[in-house]
Structure 1
Amino acid sequence: MSRIGKKPITLPKGITVEISKDNLVSVKGPKGTLHQQLHPDMIIEQESGELTVKRPSDGKLHKSLHGLTRTLLSNMVVGVTDGWQRALEINGVGYRAQLEGQTLVLQLGFSHPVRIDPPKDVQYAVGERKSANDPLPVFVRGIDKQVVGEEAARIRGLRPPEPYKGKGVKYLEEKVRRKAGKAGKAR
């Protein structure tokens, strides 16, 4: 039995889950509504404020889908109750970020500013630098974990961190392995 798949998902108050015939799951909460088509073989049951996922057999496909289905459902429930957030840091001389309405405007060392419009149900937020040398935090928030992660990766991909000075856009928890430049070469 899958250790993740057999855990029940407790539904907080105010969350409604609808499961249609072919496992089209709709989760509605205070932050919004999410829909996802899950594999039709998996058995999703809702009773007394809990969701459980069961597999029809011990075949290799059903074993691999068991934990995945439970995790996808759990991510949907967390998304409509609390939401998801991914934090990025912008580091470099002259690198800036600001919001113009909903649009994120980035100065990343190019000859022009980069403007990014958010997809549906995603918001950007820009934090404050504590000092002039600190990196600038940028937050991507939304209810769908997959969309939030893809949007953060798209922003990071505009100027990934480089290993010599550490300039660029990186995730908050990411560690950039620094290299010694020409001065670090042994003679």
Structure 2
Amino acid sequence: MSRIGKKPIELPQGVKVTFGDNLFTVEGPKGKLSQDYKPHVTFAQEGNVVTVNRVDDSKPSRSYHGLYRNLLANMVEGVSKGFTKNLVINGVGYRAETKGNIVTFNLGYSTQIEYVVPEGVEVKIDSNTKVAVLGIDKQKVGQVAAEIRGLRPPEPYKGKGIKYEEEHIRRKVGKSGVK
């Protein structure tokens, strides 16, 4: 039995889950998300607790059991609390600024980089060097944060670039001069 799949999901107050024909929808105070699913699993709701059960013990059913339970749990957390990824920009003259849904980065290249923020995700910038990616869809928030980090990944010698706030960059020793 899947350890993740058999955990029940508690719904916070104000969150409503509906299960339709191969589609489940989660509505909450921050928004609405929906996800289609394979018929290898079934959902049961009793009060404010949702459980995910598999139809049989076949390999695909076992695989989808934990997957759909986790997707549903992330959707419930997203519409109630939301997700945040924090990025830090390191380097002399490296900065970011936002205009509408376009974020402009100065990252030491000869030109500025303009990143268009997709719908459903919000980017906030604090003190030109701290970037916060916010949204209700965990996958979109992570993807946008990874794309922004990919504009200038941190380098191991001086640590210049864009990194996640909790990320630790392993530093290398530079070459020592000839004596």
Q: TM-score, normalised by structure 2?
A: 0.94
Corresponding position of 2:8: 8
Supply the distance in 1 between the matched residues of 2:15 and 2:147 (Cα, whole angstroms).
31
- 1:20 corresponds to 2:20: yes
Corresponding position of 2:100: 101
- Contact 2:40–2:64, Cα closer than 8 Å, also in 1: no
2:6 is aligned with what amino acid? K
2:2 is aligned with what amino acid? S
Supply the distance in 2 between the matched residues of 1:126 and 1:184 (Cα, whole angstroms).
40
Corresponding position of 1:146: 139
Q: Secondary structure at the match of 1:182?
A: coil
Supply the distance in 2 between the matched residues of 1:89 and 1:39 (Cα, whole angstroms).
39
1:71 is aligned with what amino acid? N
CA, structure 1 residues 99+2, in 2 after alignment: closer, same or farther (shift >3 Å)? same
Alignment of 1:114-133 (within 5 A): 114-128=113-127
Number of aligned residue pairs: give it.
Answer: 179
Corresponding position of 1:133: none
Query: How far is the alpha carbon of 1:184 from its aligned partner?
Result: 8.1
Q: Secondary structure at the match of 2:89?
A: strand
Corresponding position of 1:77: 76
- 1:163 corresponds to 2:162: no
Query: How far is the alpha carbon of 1:58 from its aligned partner?
Result: 2.0
Supply the distance in 1 between the matched residues of 2:52 and 2:34 (Cα, whole angstroms).
17
Query: How far is the alpha carbon of 1:44 from its aligned partner?
Result: 1.0
- Contact 2:26–2:79, Cα closer than 8 Å, also in 1: yes
Sequence identity percentage = 51
Corresponding position of 1:132: none
Supply the distance in 1 between the matched residues of 2:94 and 2:168 (Cα, whole angstroms).
19
Supply the distance in 2 between the matched residues of 1:166 and 1:112 (Cα, whole angstroms).
21
Where structure 1 has 5 or more consecutive residues not aligned to the other structure, the ranges are 130-135
Query: How far is the alpha carbon of 1:100 from its aligned partner?
Result: 1.7
| Superposed CA RMSD | 1.6
